Structure 1
Amino acid sequence: MSIRKIKLDEWDLKGFYPFVPLLGKSLETGGELLGVTDWIPATVPGSVQHDLLQAGIIEDPYYGTNSLSCEWVANRWWIYRTKFDFNRQEGETVRLCFQGLDYKAHIYLNQSLLHTHEGMFQPLALDVTDLLRTENNELMVMFEHAPDEMGQIGYTSKTSTQKSRFAYKWDFSARLVPIGFWDEVYIGVTGRVNLKETRLEPEWNGEDRGVIRVKSLVACGSEGIGEFPRAISYRVAIYKDGNRVSETGQKYVVVAEQTVCEAELKIENPEFWYPNGMGDQPVYEVHVEIWDGEHKADQWEGATGFRSLAWVRNEGEPHDSLPYTIVVNGEKMYIKGVNLTPLDILYGNVSDDQYRRTVTMLKEAHINLVRVWGGGLIEKEIFYDLCDRSGILIWQEFIQSSSGIDNVPSKDPHFLRLLEETAVSALKTKRNHISLACWSGGNELTDHDGVPVTAEDDNIALLKSLVDTYDPGRFFLPSSASGPLEFLDVEQPGKNHDVHGPWKYGGPEKHYELYNRSDSLLHSEFGVDGCCSVSSMRRFLPDEHLKVTSVQDNLVWRHHGEWWDTLERSRQFFGELPNLESLAAASQWVQAEGIRYALEANRRRKYGNSGSIVWQFNEPWPNVSCTSLVDYYGEPKMAYYAVRQAYRPFHLSLKYDKLVFRHGETFKAACYVHNSGKNRSYDWQADCFDLNGNFLWTKRGSHIVGANSASQAAEFSMPIDERCPDVFGIRLRWDADTAQSNVYFFSARRESWFRSLWEGPKPILDCSLKNQTVSAGNGTSTGTFVVRNVGGSVALFVKAKAPPGADAADVRCLQNDSVLLPGESREFEVLTSIRAHQENLSSVLSNVSFQAWNDR
């Protein structure tokens, strides 16, 4: 922190062939060595690629196969340049602060080399107090070409950098390797005394009083070298909701070169922090100041809260397993999780609004934990701040990942030094966050035999020792998966502790057999792939590629989702697909069905199973098809709403063996109740119906369900014969509320199993805007629509549609994908946001329409 923070916003950028800037002039001619570009305006933070696009030097790398023509950028050297004046006051210490240098950077001030830095995740502060001029300072940062590193396929044992690997090519991204400042750059001004780091330690006495201990490492003078001993004042105040709730008086300490200053502040009747869905998230803001005589020398702000968090062993788990169940404030928490990739392949260009939108969508989907994946980033501070205030627990991985050919953590001494620097920086920065639940050594790390690593591995032992030193008491997992099996294998019962996979739909019978037989203690990564919407495809696919095709037949599609072709799967379910809209809809329906069933099957085993962490929530690159729940442009797929449904605090689910039946078989299913809250009584109703809305049978019951539990409520069966429709639905309802329902579809067709969902009479929807609220300040409007099915057939998966000219992601509705039988109605809450090309919020909302999935 600092008493003054001056952002350096006006930058220029120029590219060179490697090493050219070090020479400057030609040996042959003596003339200036020109760059591969002229000076162009640059955005900081950002990326070289973004600036080149803005300058018209490269084409949009997200469009078509343009990124292939942009790979040269990572192989050049780039110089950022800015000029500034600075008037230093007596007693001030001035530092150049770099929060995210990507990757190897040489920093020059007024033509003098200050420092050479390697690594993405270690902030750098350089004391320039005696080097600044009053006018016309020139700061230049020269980035070398991106280091040679592996994408998804390679040898983990040969990893040599701490650069985010996913941008070198992963199954959900192209190869587009960023260079530049991925986090902010500023001038930080302090007095002669400065705060190097601050740690917060909240404790609760179990009754009506809490304590927040604040410990700061304080340095005297320029980089800890100056006049000492000195008397200083260490002041701490704590605020909640803008009101001061505690503070220290002045405390004078004698500072040597570096000294630890401490304060203990009492909080009367503290409010407790809970994960999303368990309670509220009150945070206490901590303000620390250092005063040197009559002058404030430095300041720091952070936040914390009161909660206990422990990891305990699962109920009935094998004796050799790790603890996978989270207990918060004495209550078990079932993990309703997702895996997070970076929000953009050019991660330096992610805006604060994108982070806010992402965390909002996590919270609205009832998600309570996010795994920040080791192939990506240790995210910017704003993400963790938002998770603190939204109740999203963080599973943070260090920057290591599997590579396929071998997955053995690197032991290269240079790499281990970089890994340690990254880890120490992350530990000191993130440990204060109340949302931080655990650390992990990395993604899918194994020994040479493919067995998940343990702390016996030297690399992992180093990380564990650093966690024990800098964040003692925080849970540490060697890797995810943590073994003894890496991948779910129901043929080896008792060994599926923390497992990964699969990432594909297993078929109308095997998919359900797998999850019904699973005995995983924690399922920390798995998923099903599905297409994005056609409106999103239009943003990155050239017109000639907007057609039904596959990644085998179309190189552009292959470039945007190589591993995730769903064409044949979609044809199996729905027959021939007449247009791209049909393919997208069919693909998303199977993805949603597959993920929902996996989540509900795991949840039925609560707390034999501790939870699910879906792969993946988002994607950093636009894919035709991918395992993400939300596409690159922020538009949710059907799977997002299926996850939101499966993670609801109170929920009914259906257990079954398969989706497709033949005449002569018997449909059998069991209804389960899932309750994340207290004991409660409830009424349930199960309706079996055809696609015209005719009821084949209805069953009802009343039960009392225990707190924080899952249990079976009922069983159903039905003969599959000539009286059975080709496709029938089962709707589970509770508390006599159509809005509280969960709908499943089954087929008795021999082929094109679910084509009947698209055939037959179309539903007719009548909708009216009941009320609306416009908030011009934050650019949103909210409206309540009443949607009624006035036709003679079931309206499937009703969804709010953005009006022409608006981005689909700017119209959000949490009731999307509702099923309405003839004569039924439901209220839909629609939130619209405004972007630069839209002007009238009221107009956007009033032009929202609704469409049923089978009205195509």
Structure 2
Amino acid sequence: MISKTDLHTGWTLNCNVAGKPDLPKAVPAHVPGCVHLDLLASRLIPDPYVDVNEITNDWIGREDWTYHCGFDASPDADLVQELVFDGLDTVATISLNGEEIGQTFNMHRTYRFDVSDRLKAEGNELVVTFRSAYAYGGEMEAHYGYRPNNYPGPGNLMRKMACNFGWDWGPTLVTAGIWKPVRLERWAKARLAETLVSATLAGGDGLVTVRARIARAGDAGDAGDCRITASIGGVMHSEIVAAGSDEVSFQVRVPSPQIWWPHHLGAQPLYPLRVELLDGKSDELLDDYVKQIGFRSVRLDTSPDAHGSAFTFVINDVPLFVCGANWIPDDCFPSRVTAERYASRIDEAKAANINLLRVWGGGIFERDEFYEECDRVGMLVWQDFLFACASYPEEEPLRGEVEAEVRDNVARLMPHPSLIVWNGNNENIWGFDEWGWRPIIKDGESWGLGYYLDILPRLCAELDPDRPYYPGSPYSGTMEIEPNADAHGCKHIWDVWNDVGYEIYRNYIPRFCSEFGWQAPPNWATLEESVHDAPLTPVSNGVFHHQKATQGNDKLIRGLAGHLPEPRTMDDWHFATQLNQARAIRFAVEHMRSHRDICKGAVVWQFNDCWPVTSWAALDSAGRRKPLWYAMRQAFDPRLLTIQPREGGLAAVAVNERTLFWRAKISGKRLRLDGTVLAEFEFWRLLCDRFEAKAFTLPQDIATADDPGNEMVVVDMLDRRAFHYFVEDIDLKLPKPEMRIEVSKREGGYAVAVTAVSLLKDLCLMADRLDPDAVVDTMLITLLPGETHVFEVDTPAAIGVADIVVGTVLRSANDLVSAA
């Protein structure tokens, strides 16, 4: 059986850097890890996430770095011994005992080097030298010529995490290091060199396809027969790999398996699959491959229809509405993300009623633990190939690196039932078409299209034919239609936020919206932990440095216009912009879901952050829920009630993503803000079938206001409620907030009961203002006079009524409007 020895201890990092005489010659290095983390652990650099230290640390990415490790090994003429690097970032030269054994140029690949005849029993010296990505990028620009890139740095000229070079939510922290595990593998006779596994449904049965390629020791013709067996769900299949051959392909049919579903539709049964490579004569186990498999079918419906052409994911023959969010690398230093952190983030996404995470193309293929957790909890995954916001050369050596990278990662990730689509790129076809690249790119010069329309679909069809591939996001399905069309394919909506207010979302009914978003700062505790300006202001040095979007702060204020008054204090700026972010996304999602017959997906930009920053995220870098997180949970509720404008007036729209129909009384009223009822209606029973949006036209006396600034509409359907206001808050006569507060101990924390004396609009309890680790269960609660809501706060800290300070801990839109 193959043996594996991790080489994760005893590493040092060479710090002979010109111009840095204060650095020691070498420091302890952690593997997996990176240069920044090693320097930080030795207290040789300030934390790049704090204040403006990012700038102080810029020199790190411009230097070459060398890792050293000593280890013992046992030379053995009967064994093949290989050094295996799961991930090297990025341009590296590897030497063993003073002899170069290989070079690497791709952060996203696994590398394997045969060192059988280079090992010593004791004192082997392994050296990995990393070239500056900037220096290598300069050489590649001279080689390929200039290619347009929306962001600084040469990320489009090499196969490295593009957002390392800075993004409009991320710092410029250009990393180097052994960022994934490294080990010594020893094997005899043969090993599994590549194992391709896919699982789908065939009628009522599960169908597993296994394609295996083996590597043989010595002369393949002399190695003899091998046998490959696969067992799953009580079924076993065996195939002989004859001497002189190295490939085999077969299928295993599992009768009537339990079906894997997205979490909002069913369970996630997983079946252990074991593939074994055995010696053909002795049945000695030589190597094995073990995965957890789920049985489900997936297709992407892009067929023409009355509205243009569809973009609908169909899982187990059920057309879905995707309630999604975009996922970026969860840390600028990906080796720091643990399996537990993946699980926590994915649990937070599930709790927000998100059913799909789109792994965005400017980052990385995430580690196995990410996809395994998505499999376990029923979180669908959309996986971009790693091309984002830039044009890419298609010549060598980049072309060969792309193909090898795709083969590596498709083979690694294709067994996961959660993974439902490969996407060719992020915004590159759109960029060529609309961002002014055409006149820059010379006639006949490559810019990436050959990857998206030829190489990637060809490789996906060869390696993973059971899963759909789509060329890009956004993309209309053909180069004959502009890529960001409403009526075809998937769309990004970015004029909203960049140029216009969020009310413009209603101008669009996309077939599928794979990006749209609105900015806000991180939570207050996160801001205080990362920025030490005195005082904190929106434009103080640290706060402003942690805003990477062009004119981002200006857009935050401009986005309030017509909705909320311009804030006059830092506290109000922080709350108003967070509230506006939550409202913008809730507004967009409810609009798109109300048009479920046309639109089949809303994927918010973005779910998470990689460092403390003002961004589009719902969960900040510390894992704290911004108000947006609560707005997404409300707007993505599988049973949504919303009030939307329709021809001739207003309609209450019930949207049902559950597997059972939703049938209930629907009632409502128009009332003054003080609670005086002006008109009422009741409809005995509204039926909204499963996977349906059903509109109910509101009576004219409900939908028409006498005094728009002092009236509202409330509609209830069972335990769901929707509100409508005839004017925006800035023109609404919101009263000064009045309430009664009670605090009582509960298991794990406290219950904070708030009873409204006046109308309270979008009431939020900012738990991190009580305790940085506190979490509150609900937010954005609107209470009519006399109504009570109980906030459940998980915290070990002791809190009482005096701690629930109105205007700081307990916030509402009333604060902002009545103060103005």
Tell me how far 1:674 sits from its aligned partner.
Answer: 0.2
Q: Show CA shifts across 1:76-129 (max 9, x none).
A: 111112222334678543322211111111112222211111101111122223
List aligned pairs for 1:598-613, cutoff 5 A: 598-613=588-603
How much identity, in percent, do the aligned residues show? Answer: 24
Question: Given the two structures, how large is their TM-score scaled by the length of structure 2?
Answer: 0.86
Name the aligned partner's letter for residue 590 of structure 2. E
Aligned length: 783
Cα distance in structure 1, aligned partners of 2:725 and 2:526: 27
Partner residue, 1:219: 215
Q: Does 2:11 correspond to 1:11? A: yes
C-alpha contact 2:384 2:426 (8 A) present in aligned 1: yes
2:9 aligned partner, one-letter code: D
- Could you list the runs of 5+ residues in structure 1 that have no partner in the other structure? 21-32, 239-244, 658-665, 773-781, 833-840
User: Which residue of structure 1 aligns with residue 383 of structure 2?
Assistant: 396
1:618 aligns with 2:618: no
Matched, 1:282 2:269: yes
Q: Amino acid of the residue matched to residue 653 of structure 2?
A: Y
Is the 1:317–1:521 contact (alpha carbons within 8 Å) kept by the matching residues of 2? no
Cross-structure match for 1:824: 787
Distance 1:204 1:845 in 2: 56
The residue number in structure 2 matching 1:309 is 298
In structure 1, what is the equivalent of residue 99 of structure 2? 112
Aligned pair 1:376/2:363, yes or no? Answer: yes
Q: Deviations over 1:4-35 (max 9, x none)?
A: 343523421123459x9xxxxxxxxxxxx999
Rounded to whole Å, the distance in 2 between the matches of 1:161 and 1:763 is 58
Q: Which residue of 2 aligns with 1:431?
A: 414
Q: 1:579 to 1:676 in 2, by over 3 A?
A: same
Q: Which moved more, 1:89-98 or 1:473-482?
A: 89-98
1:86-105 equivalent positions in 2, closer than 5 A: 86-87=73-74, 91-105=78-92
Give the residue type in structure 2 aligned to 1:219.
Answer: A
Alignment of 1:808-847 (within 5 A): 808=773, 811-826=774-789
Partner amino acid for 2:651?
A: A
Deviation for aligned residue 1:232: 3.5
Q: How much has 1:363 moved relative to structure 2?
A: 1.3
State the Cα distance separating 1:227 from its structure 2 match: 6.8
CA distance in 2, matches of 1:815, 1:296: 54
Are 2:182 and 1:182 aligned?
no
Return the match for 1:478 from 471, 483, 502.
Answer: 471
2:159 corresponds to 1:162: yes
Is contact 1:797-1:852 (8 Å) kept?
no
Give the TM-score taking structure 1 as reference length.
0.82
Counterpart amino acid of residue 689 in structure 2: G
Q: Does 1:198 align with 2:190?
A: no
**Are 1:103 and 1:120, in contact at CA under 8 Å, matched by a contact in 2?**
yes
> Alpha-carbon deviations, 1:437-494, whole Å to 9, x = none?
11122111227543999999423212221112111242221111103799x999x986
In 2, Cα distance between the equivalents of 1:652 and 1:272? 30
Superposition deviation, residue 847 in structure 1: 13
Match of 2:740 among 764, 788, 796: 764
The verdict on how the C-alpha distance between 1:484 and 1:472 changes in structure 2, with shifts beyond 3 A counting, is: closer
Q: How does 1:271-420 map to 2 (within 5 A)?
A: 271-292=258-279, 293=282, 295-313=284-302, 316-317=305-306, 321=309, 323-403=310-390, 408-420=391-403
Offset at residue 68 of structure 1 (A): 0.8
SS across alignment from 1:531: coil
The alpha carbon displacement at 1:801 in A equals: 5.3
Distance 1:347 1:56 in 2: 20
Q: Is the 8 A contact 1:160 1:414 kept in 2?
A: no
Residues 1:465 and 2:428 aligned together? no
Check if 1:522 corresponds to 2:503. no
Q: 1:690 to 1:165 in 2, by over 3 A?
A: farther
SS for the counterpart of 1:94 is strand
> Is 2:476–2:482's contact at 8 Å kept on the other side of the alignment?
no
- Residue aligned with 1:359, SS: helix
Does residue 210 (structure 1) correspond to residue 200 (structure 2)? The answer is: no
Return the offset for 1:50.
1.5
Instruction: Give the alignment partner of residue 628 of structure 2, picking from 636, 639, 648.
Output: 639
Shift of 1:718: 6.2
Query: Conserved in 2, the CA contact under 8 Å of 1:485 and 1:499?
Result: no
Aligned residue type for 2:216:
C
Change (3 A) 1:517 1:313: same
Which of 697, 716, 719 lines up with 1:714 in the alignment? 697
Q: SS where residue 465 of structure 2 aligns?
A: coil
Distance 1:617-1:333 versus aligned 2 partners, 3 A rule = same
Among residues 792, 813, 817, which one is paired with 2:757 in the alignment?
792
Note if contact 1:484-1:495 (Cα within 8 Å) is conserved in structure 2.
Answer: no
Q: 1:273 to 1:96 in 2, by over 3 A?
A: same
User: What is the letter of the counterpart of residue 242 of structure 2?
Assistant: V
Shift of 1:165: 1.3
Q: Which amino acid aligns with 1:676?
A: E
CA separation in 1, counterparts of 2:96 and 2:47?
33
Partner of 1:25: none
How far apart are 1:516 and its partner, in Å?
Answer: 3.0
SS state at 1:594 partner? helix
Residue in structure 2 matching 1:237, options 227, 231, 242: 231
Deviations 1:367-398 (A, max 9, x none): 22222111111111111111112222222111
Q: Secondary structure at the match of 2:698?
A: strand
Give the drift of 1:578. Answer: 4.2
Question: Is contact 2:6-2:181 (8 Å) kept?
Answer: no
Distance in 2 (CA, whole Å) between partners of 1:112 and 1:477 is: 44
Offset of 1:158 from its aligned partner? 9.7
- 27, 36, 46: which is aligned to 1:40? 27
Write out aligned runs for 1:671-682 (5 A).
671-677=652-658, 678-682=660-664
Unmatched tracts of structure 2, length 5 or more: 139-146, 439-445, 816-820
CA distance in 2 between counterparts of 1:123 and 1:373 reads 21
Q: Equivalent residue for 1:777?
A: none
Q: 2:574 aligned to 573, 584, 597, which one?
A: 584
Residue range with higher mean Cα deviation, 410-419 or 680-689: 680-689
Q: Could you tell me how far apart the structure 1 residues matched to 2:370 and 2:799 are?
A: 29
Q: What is the CA deviation profile of residues 384-435 of structure 1, one whole-angstrom value per residue up to 9, with x for unaligned ones?
A: 11111222222211111224xxxx4433332222211211212111111112
Please point out which of 247, 250, 269 is paired with 1:259: 247
Which one is further off, 119-128 or 198-207?
198-207
Q: Which stretch of the first structure deviates more once superposed, 524-533 or 575-584?
A: 575-584
Counterpart Cα distance in 2 of 1:753 and 1:124: 62
Q: For the residues of structure 2 that align with 1:798 and 1:327, how far apart are their CA atoms?
A: 38
- Aligned twin of 1:242: none
Contact 2:742 2:801 in 1 (8 A): no
Rounded to whole Å, the distance in 2 between the matches of 1:157 and 1:484 is 29
What whole-Å deviation, never above 9, does each CA across 1:699-752 have from its counterpart, x for those lacking one? 3322111221112123255699997474655444321x3xx3344555477xx4
Name the CA distance, whole Å, in 2 between partners of 1:270 and 1:618: 35
Q: Identify the residue that residue 597 of structure 1 maps to in structure 2.
A: 587
Render the CA deviation track for 1:162-183: whole Å, top value 9, x for unaligned.
Answer: 1121121211112111111222
What displacement does 1:143 show?
0.7
- Counterpart of 2:721 in structure 1 is 741
Of 53-62 and 785-794, the range deviating more from structure 2: 785-794
Does residue 699 of the first structure (1) align with residue 681 of the second (2)?
Answer: yes
For 2:97, the aligned partner's letter is N
CA separation in 2, counterparts of 1:125 and 1:387?
A: 28
What is the rounded CA distance, in whole Å, between the counterparts of 1:340 and 1:728 in structure 2? 40
